[in-house]
Amino acid sequence: MFKSLLIANRGEIAVRIIRTARRMGLKTIAVYSDADANAYHVAEADEAYRIGPAPAAESYLRIDAILDACARSSAEAVHPGYGFLSENAGFAEACEKAGLIFVGPPASAIRAMGLKDAAKALMEKADVPIVPGYHGDNQDADFLGEQAEKIGYPVLIKAVAGGGGKGMRRVDDPASFAKELKSAQREAGSAFGDERVLVEKYVARPRHIEIQVFADSHGQAVSLHERDCSLQRRHQKVIEEAPAPGMPPEMRKAMGEAAVAAAKAIGYRGAGTVEFIADASDGLKPDGFWFMEMNTRLQVEHPVTEAITGLDLVEWQLRVAGGEHLPLTQDKIPLKGHAVEVRLYAEDPAKKFFPSTGRLLRLRAPENMPHVRTDMGVREGDEVSMFYDPMIGKIIAHGETRRIALRTLRGFLSRMEVAGPKTNLAFLAAAMAHESFIAGDIDTGFIDRHLDQLVPKGPVEPCVLAVGAAAHLIGRSAVLRAAQAGSDEPHSPWAEADGWVLGGHRAETLRFIVGGENVSLTVAPEGNGWRLSGEMVGANIAVSAIMDGDGTISATVDGVRLKAACVPSGRGFILVHEGISTDFSIVDPLDVDIVSDADTGSLKSPMPGKIVQVLVEPGARIRKGAALVVMEAMKMEQTLTAAVDSVVAAVHVGIGDQVEAGATLVAFEEKPG
Ligand code: ADP
Ligand code: ADP
Ligand code: MG
């Protein structure tokens, strides 16, 4: 066995690999870009080496820079993680040439599965069922149209070099085929430098079911059962589970055997996943699944397999790479209980899941929940940068039954505290509680179909407003007390609030902007707390609260005890309650600014992209929330809005401009005073 391992990746997967490697006594070596100099994975590793600037193309995707870090650190083996170089056959080859052990399959196996058309042809030969369709060389539009007719609509056009759901179009009728073909080819060309596509049958009620396989270098291969990854948005997974709900044992066996045959057909070694599409319109059946593709690496969702088998797949990867035999034979692979994983993303479900960035002002998980595992990529205080995948981490629950696992996970999510960038936390919790999901009535259209129920909208709950008002009053008094005591800058704005319960002297009106709405609340002292009234809370609410120095609030609202967290942000604070975070901006100019570190002097581009529309001119008076600029980034349009009321001083971009992340788009006038 080798003694040192370089992890050519970042974020949660790097942290997760380091954890196992350390347990196995290996020296762990991280690499980092300039954006990651202080990242979690760097802090966790024994050593870390800089490999270049922030953009992945100049750091994590640079084979020469990674090999150089290997040489400098005398690493013996390299783990590529997922994404980045993990499915790059040239990288696997370069590692071997440099005398390094590549923790993954042989380059030839990566190549065999790299293109979807060649992979399908190969699987057909190995008698693995494939989705009916055309995957030949002819790329003529009319010819492909004829093939689509032959297959029968609806069909799916896929980029042969595709990945991450890109270059994929569903076509429902012949009339739109030519147009969709063109757009798929264009997207494939720009994403993969390869315009070629294949056309296949669109499976009616598709469920994504995949098999985890493992092979060693002694000709053994096993399947570690299936995972169901049908809950997807934009053809990308967000919730995964094992085993698949409603899976008949004979189908599990058939799929496992097909996957092992696939692995053997390409001389596979290490961990791999064979992805199948199943038709769920009439329940799962042993003859109702077809090969989609093979991912020749560790998968994001591998922890659900670890949970039901009790195995550590990274340990298996390292042992197999070190030349050992597979630790277990097929009949010894356990399957215990049920596991569900959710991917916590910095993204906005209400805006088509558009990625969000920024500092994680709060990131806390409930403790003492032994059946829940968290694989985080960032810590509280870290930045979710625009350069990489916006995944914050994964949360995995295991239970004796699916229902127990779902309930455990839902309870965990509702007690998590995340504030800063927009996240999908509340969306995930809503999915865990959705009747149809609990019933196992799932397919890849689930999220789109139930979006309205999964993305909580509507007015902010009165109890949240009440707790917000209490938090504000306590925080304000704490800041005032600190100022009176002459203490300069308490390190937490709540530092003086500890254990302090307050009633003021007289009634006053508080004004906030909450979730874009103006909220006006009258508060009058009563007992240990206040009585609130106002349009959004009805006639009367009694609230009392205690906040500790960390912003954790215990409140009583009309006799009901609840917990929340209050995190200073911009010109107000964020209140986190039951997994939902609500922004409170303080309007009253006479109020003490609890904290104001937000840069409101200009609008900066959140990510690299193209300007599609400019909606303001210099001199324009704008309100908080007003649309300023529309940009296209990561293949989506995003409207950038004003963070505060202001006046436009200058507009620095025009339609069609290509802008870098962080570029100033619009400048505002300095606020007097
Ligand atoms: P999984 O099936 O494990 O979710 P995916 O193929 O969806 O795997 O991708 C795994 C990771 O690899 C993603 O989270 C992403 O970071 C990266 N990735 C995969 N394909 C692409 C792509 N085409 N462009 C950018 N990143 C990609
Ligand atoms: P990628 O390389 O982008 O991951 P896949 O071929 O794995 O591409 O497909 C991604 C997703 O698209 C699948 O998980 C599934 O939801 C959907 N999909 C793929 N092929 C089909 C099909 N033939 N019918 C219906 N849905 C499909
Ligand atoms: Mg896939």
Residue 288 dihedral angles phi and psi, to the nearest 5°: -115, 40
pLDDT band, residue 599 (cuts 50/70/90): low
On the question of pLDDT at 489 being above 60, the answer is: no
CA 59 to centroid of ligand 2, rounded, Å: 29
Look at the domain 462-586 and name its fold.
Glycoprotein, Type 4 Pilin (3.30.700)
Residue nearest to atom 21 of ligand 2 (CA): 202
* 206-454 and 132-201 share a CATH fold: no
pLDDT of residue 525: 87
Task: With a cut of 50, say whether residue 500 has pLDDT above it.
Answer: no
Q: Is the CB of 237 under 6 A from ligand 1?
A: yes
β-partners of residue 268 are none
pLDDT band at 549 (very low <50, low <70, confident <90, very high): confident
Q: What average pLDDT score do residues 597-617 get?
A: 77
Catalytic residue among 62, 297, 343, 571: 297
DSSP states of 497-565: GTT-----SS-EEEEEEETTEEEEEEEEEETTEEEEEETTTEEEEEEEEEE-TTSEEEEEETTEEEEEE
The 3-class SS string of 140-170 reads: CHHHHHHHHHHHCCCEEEEECCCCCCCCEEE
Q: Tokens at residue 61, please?
A: 């995707």
Q: Would you state the pLDDT for residue 598?
A: 40
Nearest CA to ligand 1 atom 4: 300
Ligand nearest to the CA of 165: 2
Q: Does residue 589 have a pLDDT over 80?
A: no
- Relative to the alpha carbon of 300, which ligand is closest? 1
- Rounded (5°) CA angle 155-160-163: 95
Closest-CA residue, ligand 1 atom 17, reads 83
pLDDT attached to residue 487: 56
Domain 132-201 in this protein, CATH class = alpha beta
Q: What is the mean pLDDT of residues 636-644?
A: 78
pLDDT-based confidence at 497, cuts 50/70/90? Answer: very low
Among 61, 82, 87, 273, which residue has the most ligand 1 atoms within 8 Å of its CB, making it the best to mutate?
82
Superfamily grouping for domain 206-454: ATP-grasp fold, B domain (3.30.470.20)
Q: Which residue has the tokens 């199943």?
A: 278
pLDDT > 70 in the chain, percent: 93
For ligand 1, the distance from its centroid to the CA atom of residue 162, given in whole angstroms, is 10
Asked whether residue 669 carries a pLDDT value surpassing 90, the answer given is no
pLDDT attached to residue 538: 76
Can you give the pLDDT at residue 492? 56
How many angstroms separate the alpha carbon of residue 552 from the centre of ligand 3? 41
What pLDDT shows up at residue 251?
97
Beta-strand pair 289-295/221-233: unpaired
Number of Cα atoms under 13 Å in the Cβ half of residue 307? 30
Residue 116 backbone dihedrals phi, psi, to 5 degrees: -65, -30
CA 14 – CA 49 distance, rounded (Å): 14
Give the pLDDT mean for 512-531.
Answer: 87
Task: State how far the Cα of 342 lies from the Cα of 409, in Å rounded to an integer.
Answer: 9
**pTM metric for this prediction:** 0.85
pLDDT tens digits along 550-583: 899 999 999 999 999 999 887 889 999 988 899 9
pLDDT at 672 over 50: no
Confidence category of residue 505, pLDDT binned at 50, 70, 90: low
- For the Cβ of 651 lying below 6 angstroms from any atom of ligand 2, the answer is no
Alpha carbon distance 644, 646 (integer Å): 6
| Residue 30 pLDDT | 98
**Residue showing tokens 């609340």:** 521
Q: What's the CA gap between 349 and 289, in Å, rounded?
A: 31
Class of domain 4-103: alpha beta
Active site residue 561: no
Q: What is the mean pLDDT of the chain?
A: 91
Kindly list the domain boundaries of the chain, sorted by start residue: 4-103, 132-201, 206-454, 462-586, 598-668
Ligand nearest to the CA of 86: 1
Is 662 exposed, middle or buried (CB count within 10 Å of its CB: 0-12, 13-18, 19+)? exposed
In the predicted structure, residue 594 carries a pLDDT above the cut 60: no
Of the chain, the end-to-end C-alpha distance in Å amounts to: 66
The topology (CATH level 3) of 598-668 is OB fold (Dihydrolipoamide Acetyltransferase, E2P) (2.40.50)
593 has a pLDDT exceeding 50: no
Range ranked top by mean pLDDT from 22-31, 497-506, 658-667: 22-31
Q: Is the pLDDT of residue 122 over 60?
A: yes
Residue 592: which pLDDT band, with cuts at 50, 70 and 90? very low
